[in-house]
Copies of this chain bind each other. A is one copy, B any other.
Amino acid sequence: MLTLTTLTSMPFGVDTVNMETVKPYHHGSLQTSLVEAGFELARQGGPDAVGLRAVTRAAGVSHNAAYRHFADREQLLVAVSTRCMRELALLMEARTAEVQVRDRRRRARSRLVAIGEAYVEFATTEPGWFRTAFAVTDMAGSVDGPALGVGDEGLGPYELLGARLDELVEVGELPAERRPGAEFAAWAVVHGLATLLTEGPLQGLPVADRGHAVAIALGVVQRGL
Contacts and interface: CB of A to CB of B under 8 A. Distances in A.
A222 B214 CA distance: 17
B146 A185 contact: no
Contacts of A147: 201, 204
Interface stretch (A23-31, A90-98, A101-109, A133-141): A133-141
Nearest to A141: B204
Contact of A189 (B181, B182, B192, B212): B192
Interface in A188-225: 188-196, 199-205, 212-214, 216-217, 219-225
A70 interface: no
B189 A185 contact: yes
B216 A184 contact: yes
A128 to B, nearest CB: 16
A148 B200 CA distance: 10
A192 B188 contact: yes
A216 B185 contact: yes
A26 to B, nearest CB: 37
Interface string A116-153: 00000000000000000010011011000011100000
A188 B196 CA distance: 7
Contact of A216 (B158, B182, B202, B222): B182
A224 B185 CA distance: 11
Contact of A196 (B187, B196, B201, B220): B187
Contacts of A223: 223-224
B146 A216 contact: no
A138 B193 contact: no
Contacts of A203: 137-138
29 contacts: A134-B199, A134-B200, A137-B199, A137-B201, A138-B204, A141-B201, A141-B205, A146-B204, A147-B201, A147-B204, A181-B216, A182-B216, A184-B213, A185-B189, A185-B216, A185-B217, A185-B219, A185-B220, A188-B190, A188-B193, A188-B196, A188-B217, A190-B192, A191-B192, A192-B193, A192-B194, A220-B221, A221-B221, A223-B224
